[in-house]
Protein backbone atom coordinates (compact mmCIF):
# COMPACT_ATOMS: atom_id res chain seq x y z
CA UNK A 1 0.00 0.00 0.00
CA UNK A 2 1.36 3.41 -0.97
CA UNK A 3 1.19 6.12 1.69
CA UNK A 4 -0.96 9.13 0.95
CA UNK A 5 -1.43 12.41 2.80
CA UNK A 6 -4.00 12.07 5.57
CA UNK A 7 -5.28 13.76 8.71
CA UNK A 8 -2.63 13.87 11.43
CA UNK A 9 -3.72 13.23 15.04
CA UNK A 10 -3.69 16.34 17.20
CA UNK A 11 -0.39 16.20 19.13
CA UNK A 12 -1.80 18.57 21.77
CA UNK A 13 -4.61 16.20 22.78
CA UNK A 14 -3.45 14.69 26.05
CA UNK A 15 -5.97 11.86 26.28
CA UNK A 16 -6.32 10.42 22.76
CA UNK A 17 -9.46 8.50 21.87
CA UNK A 18 -8.81 5.28 19.98
CA UNK A 19 -11.16 3.00 18.06
CA UNK A 20 -10.89 -0.66 19.02
CA UNK A 21 -11.00 -3.12 16.15
CA UNK A 22 -13.61 -5.06 18.16
CA UNK A 23 -16.02 -2.14 17.63
CA UNK A 24 -16.34 -2.89 13.92
CA UNK A 25 -16.57 -6.70 14.19
CA UNK A 26 -17.07 -8.69 11.97
CA UNK A 27 -15.14 -6.25 9.77
CA UNK A 28 -11.34 -6.49 9.74
CA UNK A 29 -8.39 -4.46 11.00
CA UNK A 30 -8.07 -2.65 7.68
CA UNK A 31 -11.68 -1.46 8.05
CA UNK A 32 -10.93 -0.25 11.57
CA UNK A 33 -8.23 2.10 10.31
CA UNK A 34 -10.42 3.41 7.50
CA UNK A 35 -13.41 4.03 9.77
CA UNK A 36 -11.25 5.60 12.51
CA UNK A 37 -9.66 7.99 10.01
CA UNK A 38 -13.00 8.89 8.45
CA UNK A 39 -14.69 9.63 11.80
CA UNK A 40 -11.79 11.55 13.31
CA UNK A 41 -10.50 9.15 15.96
CA UNK A 42 -6.96 9.79 17.19
CA UNK A 43 -5.71 6.20 17.13
CA UNK A 44 -6.54 2.50 16.88
CA UNK A 45 -6.57 -0.36 19.36
CA UNK A 46 -5.83 -3.72 17.73
CA UNK A 47 -7.38 -6.86 19.18
CA UNK A 48 -5.29 -9.88 18.17
CA UNK A 49 -7.57 -12.48 16.58
CA UNK A 50 -7.53 -15.05 13.81
CA UNK A 51 -7.20 -12.19 11.31
CA UNK A 52 -3.59 -12.54 10.02
CA UNK A 53 -3.20 -8.74 9.80
CA UNK A 54 -3.81 -8.41 13.56
CA UNK A 55 -0.66 -10.50 14.16
CA UNK A 56 1.62 -8.90 11.55
CA UNK A 57 3.44 -5.85 13.00
CA UNK A 58 5.10 -4.90 9.71
CA UNK A 59 1.81 -4.81 7.81
CA UNK A 60 0.13 -2.99 10.70
CA UNK A 61 2.82 -0.31 10.51
CA UNK A 62 2.03 0.09 6.81
CA UNK A 63 -1.53 0.98 7.83
CA UNK A 64 -0.25 3.33 10.52
CA UNK A 65 1.78 5.14 7.85
CA UNK A 66 -1.00 5.14 5.26
CA UNK A 67 -3.69 6.50 7.58
CA UNK A 68 -1.35 8.50 9.83
CA UNK A 69 -3.06 6.93 12.84
CA UNK A 70 -0.98 5.36 15.62
CA UNK A 71 -1.76 2.08 17.33
CA UNK A 72 -2.01 2.95 21.00
CA UNK A 73 -3.02 -0.44 22.43
CA UNK A 74 -2.68 -4.13 21.62
CA UNK A 75 -5.28 -6.49 23.09
CA UNK A 76 -3.75 -9.92 23.74
CA UNK A 77 -5.67 -12.97 22.41
CA UNK A 78 -6.88 -14.02 25.86
CA UNK A 79 -10.61 -14.31 25.05
CA UNK A 80 -12.50 -17.60 24.74
CA UNK A 81 -12.82 -17.00 20.99
CA UNK A 82 -9.06 -16.57 20.55
CA UNK A 83 -7.83 -19.56 22.54
CA UNK A 84 -6.42 -21.05 19.32
CA UNK A 85 -4.23 -18.00 18.59
CA UNK A 86 -0.56 -18.35 19.60
CA UNK A 87 -1.16 -21.47 21.67
CA UNK A 88 0.18 -21.48 25.24
CA UNK A 89 -1.25 -18.78 27.52
CA UNK A 90 2.12 -17.29 28.52
CA UNK A 91 3.20 -17.37 24.88
CA UNK A 92 0.20 -15.13 24.10
CA UNK A 93 1.34 -12.63 26.73
CA UNK A 94 4.97 -12.63 25.59
CA UNK A 95 4.13 -12.27 21.88
CA UNK A 96 1.52 -9.58 22.49
CA UNK A 97 4.04 -7.63 24.59
CA UNK A 98 6.54 -7.84 21.74
CA UNK A 99 3.83 -6.57 19.38
CA UNK A 100 3.36 -3.51 21.61
CA UNK A 101 7.03 -2.64 21.17
CA UNK A 102 7.09 -3.38 17.44
CA UNK A 103 4.15 -1.10 16.59
CA UNK A 104 4.98 1.62 19.14
CA UNK A 105 1.82 1.18 21.23
CA UNK A 106 1.40 2.49 24.77
CA UNK A 107 -0.18 -0.47 26.50
CA UNK A 108 -1.11 -4.13 26.22
CA UNK A 109 -4.54 -5.28 27.44
CA UNK A 110 -4.93 -8.77 28.89
CA UNK A 111 -7.79 -10.65 30.52
CA UNK A 112 -7.16 -12.57 33.75
CA UNK A 113 -6.83 -16.36 33.34
CA UNK A 114 -9.86 -18.60 33.13
CA UNK A 115 -10.42 -20.64 36.28
CA UNK A 116 -9.50 -23.90 34.53
CA UNK A 117 -6.08 -22.51 33.52
CA UNK A 118 -4.69 -23.40 36.93
CA UNK A 119 -1.00 -23.42 36.09
CA UNK A 120 -1.33 -20.12 34.23
CA UNK A 121 -3.41 -18.54 37.00
CA UNK A 122 -0.92 -19.53 39.69
CA UNK A 123 1.39 -16.57 40.07
CA UNK A 124 -0.36 -14.66 37.27
CA UNK A 125 0.19 -11.15 38.75
CA UNK A 126 3.89 -11.91 39.28
CA UNK A 127 4.18 -13.35 35.78
CA UNK A 128 2.59 -10.28 34.22
CA UNK A 129 5.05 -8.03 36.08
CA UNK A 130 7.95 -10.18 34.90
CA UNK A 131 6.94 -10.00 31.22
CA UNK A 132 6.27 -6.28 31.58
CA UNK A 133 9.77 -5.74 32.99
CA UNK A 134 11.45 -8.02 30.43
CA UNK A 135 9.79 -6.40 27.44
CA UNK A 136 9.61 -2.87 28.85
CA UNK A 137 5.88 -2.48 28.16
CA UNK A 138 2.83 -1.57 30.21
CA UNK A 139 0.50 -4.56 30.66
CA UNK A 140 -2.93 -3.58 31.99
CA UNK A 141 -5.15 -6.44 33.21
CA UNK A 142 -8.83 -5.89 32.48
CA UNK A 143 -11.71 -6.05 34.94
CA UNK A 144 -14.12 -8.87 34.11
CA UNK A 145 -17.33 -10.15 35.77
CA UNK A 146 -18.82 -13.31 37.32
CA UNK A 147 -20.75 -15.62 35.01
CA UNK A 148 -24.09 -17.07 36.06
CA UNK A 149 -25.47 -20.59 35.76
CA UNK A 150 -29.10 -20.48 36.76
CA UNK A 151 -29.12 -18.11 39.73
CA UNK A 152 -25.64 -19.00 40.86
CA UNK A 153 -22.51 -16.92 40.24
CA UNK A 154 -19.68 -18.96 38.75
CA UNK A 155 -16.08 -17.83 39.13
CA UNK A 156 -14.77 -18.03 35.57
CA UNK A 157 -11.58 -16.06 36.21
CA UNK A 158 -8.61 -16.53 38.52
CA UNK A 159 -7.35 -15.17 40.80
CA UNK A 160 -10.54 -13.07 40.51
CA UNK A 161 -12.69 -11.26 37.96
CA UNK A 162 -12.01 -7.97 39.76
CA UNK A 163 -8.54 -6.41 39.58
CA UNK A 164 -9.23 -4.49 42.80
CA UNK A 165 -7.17 -6.01 45.56
CA UNK A 166 -4.93 -7.84 43.08
CA UNK A 167 -1.25 -7.07 42.72
CA UNK A 168 -1.41 -5.74 39.17
CA UNK A 169 0.83 -2.83 38.34
CA UNK A 170 -1.70 -1.53 35.79
CA UNK A 171 -5.38 -2.16 35.09
CA UNK A 172 -7.70 -1.66 32.11
CA UNK A 173 -11.17 -0.51 33.19
CA UNK A 174 -14.12 -1.60 31.03
CA UNK A 175 -17.49 -0.01 31.81
CA UNK A 176 -19.54 -2.79 30.21
CA UNK A 177 -17.80 -5.40 32.35
CA UNK A 178 -18.34 -3.18 35.38
CA UNK A 179 -22.08 -3.11 34.66
CA UNK A 180 -22.21 -6.90 34.32
CA UNK A 181 -20.44 -7.30 37.67
CA UNK A 182 -22.49 -4.63 39.46
CA UNK A 183 -19.36 -2.56 40.13
CA UNK A 184 -19.27 1.18 40.75
CA UNK A 185 -16.86 2.45 38.10
CA UNK A 186 -16.24 5.85 39.67
CA UNK A 187 -15.41 4.31 43.02
CA UNK A 188 -13.17 1.72 41.35
CA UNK A 189 -11.30 4.26 39.23
CA UNK A 190 -10.69 6.42 42.29
CA UNK A 191 -9.41 3.38 44.17
CA UNK A 192 -7.10 2.37 41.32
CA UNK A 193 -5.54 5.82 41.17
CA UNK A 194 -2.24 5.71 39.24
CA UNK A 195 -2.69 1.99 38.52
CA UNK A 196 -5.34 2.82 35.92
CA UNK A 197 -3.44 2.17 32.72
CA UNK A 198 -6.16 2.12 30.06
CA UNK A 199 -9.91 2.63 29.61
CA UNK A 200 -12.40 0.78 27.41
CA UNK A 201 -15.15 3.27 26.67
CA UNK A 202 -18.53 1.56 26.61
CA UNK A 203 -21.52 1.00 28.92
CA UNK A 204 -23.92 -1.64 30.18
CA UNK A 205 -27.45 -1.87 31.56
CA UNK A 206 -26.60 -3.93 34.61
CA UNK A 207 -29.52 -6.21 33.71
CA UNK A 208 -27.42 -8.73 31.80
CA UNK A 209 -25.14 -11.42 33.23
CA UNK A 210 -22.84 -10.88 30.25
CA UNK A 211 -21.14 -7.81 28.84
CA UNK A 212 -23.23 -5.76 26.42
CA UNK A 213 -20.79 -3.08 25.20
CA UNK A 214 -23.45 -0.44 24.80
CA UNK A 215 -22.62 3.07 23.67
CA UNK A 216 -21.57 5.29 26.58
CA UNK A 217 -24.58 7.06 28.06
CA UNK A 218 -26.93 4.23 27.02
CA UNK A 219 -26.42 2.19 30.19
CA UNK A 220 -26.29 2.68 33.94
CA UNK A 221 -22.59 3.25 34.54
CA UNK A 222 -21.36 6.76 35.52
CA UNK A 223 -19.24 6.96 32.38
CA UNK A 224 -19.47 10.73 31.95
CA UNK A 225 -18.51 11.33 35.58
CA UNK A 226 -15.56 8.96 35.26
CA UNK A 227 -14.19 10.69 32.17
CA UNK A 228 -14.63 14.07 33.80
CA UNK A 229 -12.79 12.76 36.88
CA UNK A 230 -9.91 11.54 34.70
CA UNK A 231 -9.69 14.92 33.01
CA UNK A 232 -9.74 16.68 36.38
CA UNK A 233 -6.83 14.63 37.76
CA UNK A 234 -4.90 15.07 34.50
CA UNK A 235 -4.79 11.34 33.75
CA UNK A 236 -2.66 10.80 30.65
CA UNK A 237 -3.77 7.40 29.38
CA UNK A 238 -5.70 6.35 26.27
CA UNK A 239 -9.47 5.93 26.09
CA UNK A 240 -10.46 3.27 23.54
CA UNK A 241 -14.02 2.97 22.23
CA UNK A 242 -15.07 -0.66 22.57
CA UNK A 243 -18.76 -0.69 21.69
CA UNK A 244 -20.77 -3.33 19.89
CA UNK A 245 -22.09 -2.28 16.48
CA UNK A 246 -23.21 -5.72 15.31
CA UNK A 247 -26.89 -4.74 15.67
CA UNK A 248 -26.50 -1.66 13.48
CA UNK A 249 -28.88 -1.89 10.54
CA UNK A 250 -26.45 -0.31 8.09
CA UNK A 251 -22.91 0.98 7.71
CA UNK A 252 -24.28 4.50 8.13
CA UNK A 253 -25.89 3.61 11.45
CA UNK A 254 -22.69 1.90 12.62
CA UNK A 255 -20.73 5.06 11.82
CA UNK A 256 -23.34 7.21 13.60
CA UNK A 257 -22.92 5.11 16.75
CA UNK A 258 -19.13 5.32 16.61
CA UNK A 259 -19.22 9.07 15.92
CA UNK A 260 -21.58 9.51 18.88
CA UNK A 261 -19.15 7.55 21.07
CA UNK A 262 -16.23 9.75 19.99
CA UNK A 263 -18.22 12.93 20.62
CA UNK A 264 -19.19 11.64 24.10
CA UNK A 265 -15.54 10.98 24.92
CA UNK A 266 -14.32 14.35 23.70
CA UNK A 267 -17.08 16.25 25.48
CA UNK A 268 -16.53 14.62 28.87
CA UNK A 269 -12.75 14.66 28.60
CA UNK A 270 -12.98 18.42 28.05
CA UNK A 271 -11.71 18.32 24.48
Residue 3, in any domain of the structure: no
pLDDT, averaged across the chain: 92
Residue 213, in any domain of the structure: yes
Residue 96, in any domain of the structure: yes
Q: Which residues contact 251 (CB under 8 A, 6 or more apart)?
A: none
Q: What mean pLDDT comes out for the span 207-212?
A: 79
**247 in Cβ contact with 262 (< 8 Å):** no
Residue 136, in any domain of the structure: yes
Backbone torsion region of residue 86, taken as left when φ is above 0, otherwise alpha when ψ lies between -120 and 50, otherwise beta: left
Residue 2, in any domain of the structure: no
Query: In this predicted structure, what is the pLDDT of residue 83?
Result: 78
Helix axes 89-103, 57-67, angle to 10 degrees: 40
Answer yes or no: is pLDDT of 2 > 80.
no
Query: In this predicted structure, what is the pLDDT of residue 40?
Result: 98
Query: In this predicted structure, what is the pLDDT of residue 152?
Result: 65
For residue 201, report the phi and psi dihedrals to the nearest 5 degrees.
-85, 115
Query: In this predicted structure, what is the pLDDT of residue 8?
Result: 46
The 10s digit of each residue's pLDDT in 10-66 is 545 578 999 999 999 999 999 999 999 999 999 999 999 989 999 999 999 999 999
Q: How many domains does the chain have?
A: 1
Between β-strands 147-149 and 152-154, what pairing exists: parallel, antiparallel or unpaired?
antiparallel
Residue 8, in any domain of the structure: no
CATH of the domain at 111: 3.20.20.150
Compute the distance between CA of residue 170 and CA of residue 131 in angstroms, rounded to an integer. Answer: 13
Q: End-to-end CA distance of the chain, in Å?
A: 33
Residue 188, in any domain of the structure: yes
Compute the distance between CA of residue 89 and CA of residue 207 in angstroms, rounded to an integer. Answer: 32
Compute the distance between CA of residue 49 and CA of residue 55 in angstroms, rounded to an integer. Answer: 8
The 10s digit of each residue's pLDDT in 220-247 is 999 999 999 999 999 999 999 999 999 9
Better-predicted residue by pLDDT, 149 or 199: 199
Q: What mean pLDDT comes out for the span 112-117?
A: 92
The 10s digit of each residue's pLDDT in 153-191 is 667 899 999 999 999 999 999 999 999 999 999 999 999
pTM: 0.92
What residue numbers bound the domain in which 92 lies?
Answer: 17-268
Query: In this predicted structure, what is the pLDDT of residue 13?
Result: 59
Residue 12, in any domain of the structure: no
Amino acid sequence: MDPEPSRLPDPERKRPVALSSSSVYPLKIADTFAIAEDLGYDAVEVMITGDPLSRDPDELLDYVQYYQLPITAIHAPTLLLTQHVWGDAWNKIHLAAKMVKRVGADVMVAHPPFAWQRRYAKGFPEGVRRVSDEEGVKIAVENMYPWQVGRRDVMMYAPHWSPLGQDYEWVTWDFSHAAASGSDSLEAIRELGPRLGHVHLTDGSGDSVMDEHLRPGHGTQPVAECLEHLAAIDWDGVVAAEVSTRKAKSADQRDEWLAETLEFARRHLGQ
